[in-house]
Amino acid sequence: MVIMHELCKNTETQFIIATHSPILLAYPGATIYSCDYDALIPIAYEDTEHYKITKCFLNNPEGYVRKLFED
């Protein structure tokens, strides 16, 4: 992210990044597109599945793992 930040000092810099990382998705000023539908649609950071899953896990890791292993 530091390298991206440095490269973004040139206002013509653009990145196309495919990621599941909520850390990369949080890059300030990033436009996030969801590929979950028939077309690319812009989506808010907090509305991404990657953010929601990571937040849920970090809020309660033991409970999250326990739920994953339920029959």
For residue range 36-57, list pLDDT tens digits in order. 878 889 999 999 999 999 999 9
3-state secondary structure the chain: CHHHHHHCCCCCCCCCCCCCCHHHHCCCCCCCEECCCCCCEECCHHHCHHHHHHHHHHHCHHHHHHHHCCC
Q: What per-residue confidence (pLDDT) applies to 71? A: 75
Report pTM.
Answer: 0.75
The tokens for 57 are 């896990």
